Chains A and B, each alone.
Chain A
Amino acid sequence: DAGVIQSPRHEVTEMGQEVTLRCKPISGHDYLFWYRQTMMRGLELLIYFNNNVPIDDSGMPEDRFSAKMPNASFSTLKIQPSEPRDSAVYFCASSLGGGNSPLHFGNGTRLTVT
């Protein structure tokens, strides 16, 4: 199994630009999570999906953030427009059975907004 695959690994962009982060979950997993990791706030849950349907987006910081899961093997997290305070490592994770089951994390996308 290839595990959860995220792309790109690194993204550097200028303030105001649109950023799209991508995730391919483990085949067969029915839950997908997007997390953000910063030194100040640690690991924060942004949004999660069950069977491609967004269940809870209460962690999405602002309307500038949006996430989609068009099918079981692909999800995107978009930031438009990006701001320097969005700089962080963004992780995608998948699981079979939700938050009460082991999460499998990708290796993250390090986003730098200048």
Chain B
Amino acid sequence: GENVEQHPSTLSVQEGDSAVIKCTYSDSASNYFPWYKQELGKGPQLIIDIRSNVGEKKDQRIAVTLNKTAKHFSLHITETQPEDSAVYFCAATDSWGKLQFGAGTQVVVTP
């Protein structure tokens, strides 16, 4: 089945700096790669997603890149703000269309 690995597990950045989270996946049939943000006491919320026919996607300060050959995808957050502090999860669909989540990255943005 699909195995999604996510790094780092924790990430501390200064406000205004960039944050990068990286994920790898194992199933070459995976074709959908969403990123979720989870704030304390809430459910995960989709922040951006990318499909296998696209290499990069951007939405304001957030961008995602996908390298299908290497089976890895990354989340980039620019000009970080305190409200970006949260746990971020990458995910990938497996051959059965089920989402497999990475272990999560705790991002702390310090003023």
Contacts and interface: CB of A to CB of B under 8 A. Distances in A.
Contact of B43 (A98, A100, A102, A105): A105
Given A42-B104, A43-B89, A100 B97 contact: yes
Nearest to B99: A99
A104 B42 CA distance: 12
Interface residues of A, number: 18
Contact of A43 (B31, B34, B97, B101): B101
A45 interface: yes
Contacts of A48: 98
A107 B89 CA distance: 16
A49 interface: no
A17 to B, nearest CB: 24
Interface of B: 31-32, 34, 36, 41-46, 49, 89, 93, 96-99, 101-104
